[in-house]
Amino acid sequence: MLKEKTILITGGTGSFGHTFVPLTLARYNPERLIILSRDEMKQWEMSKLYGNDSRVRFFIGDVRDKDRLYRALDGVDYVVHAAATKIVPTAEYNPFECVKTNIIGAMNLIDACIDQGVKRVVALSTDKASSPINLYGATKLASDKLFVAGNSYSGAHGTKFAVVRYGNVMGSRGSVIPFFMSLRNEGELPITDTRMTRFMISLEQGVELVWHAFDDMVGGEIYVKKIPSMKVTDLAQVIAPQARHKIIGIRPGEKLHEQMIGAEDSFYTYEYPEHYKILPAINGWCDTPERIKDGRKVPEGFTYSSDQNPDWMSPEALLAWIEDNSGKIGRV
């Protein structure tokens, strides 16, 4: 589907973009892959990785700026929306800025994609959008709803929108693995709560879920990857076996456990071998065979959360992953 097409990724200089770009270039050989972001230094550093590859273009812009989006999307076939204000405490203390990027930015992108005739759009979401308790999660829930409803607005333009949702990305900049690794020689690691659990997904798995969404989507679906969980205390033990654990309490807006599908979504959720799919409740789209395909309806009241997950990552598996990815942990 993506072969010899023009693809744009918003927020493309972040962790996801650094994995999506090389993997997509290698697998699909698109005609152009445009990286849109507002950080010129990140673009400068990232551009060094691709030398004179004529397929890769860099475009400075902000999803808050609709006029700039119209220019960036000229001739684009497919869009991955990765731009977001996503650090939970930062969003709690800077709510207006978070809303401008995550909600207003989503509205701008939806309008621009429809008007510019983009074929398909996949927006990246987060576990925090399911039953949100923090501002970041609330803005991403609003964003998810906007992208789902965008399918009603595209009309004759035919632009299709879908969402992918996943939890803690292993090794990404600012996440728990590089944070613990930076402190492992200090003799003490800060633990918010000994009961805390997190989903564990690699960036490569995240990219594959986006590829699948592009191929499978009819419009309005939310895709949730099946991934393992791990207790934060077990993660800390793997990274720094000798370190003491200092309990510091849960930070503002933080959850004990990650949730990607809430009980309220169970009425519209279907299970597949490697993922779940939440179908849109609006317009009767949750009952359409072309969206359901070979899915199996989950039981009423079903939830998918990191503490009740049947699949758990072993300490040995995490250690092996760290050893295999040591050169890029926390870099992007």
Q: Are 78 and 7 in contact (CB under 8 A)?
A: yes
Other C-beta atoms within 10 Å of 181: how many?
A: 16
Rounded to the nearest 5°, which phi and psi values hold at 133?
Answer: -125, -5
The active-site residue out of 5, 42, 86, 128 is 128
Q: Which residues contact 301 (CB under 8 A, 6 or more apart)?
A: 263, 266
**Residue 250 token pair:** 């849960």
Q: Which phi and psi angles does 283 have, rounded to 5°?
A: 60, 15
Pick from 196, 208, 143, 131: which is nearest to 168 by CA?
196
Hey, CA dihedral for 106, 109, 114, 120, is it positive or negative? negative
Joined together, the tokens standing for residue 77 give: 């076939």
The yes-or-no answer on residue 5 being catalytic is no
Q: Of 59, 54, 26, which Cα lies nearest the Cα of 42?
A: 59
Beta-carbon contacts of 318 under 8 Å, excluding residues fewer than 6 positions away, are 200, 230, 235, 238
- Which residues are the active-site residues? 128
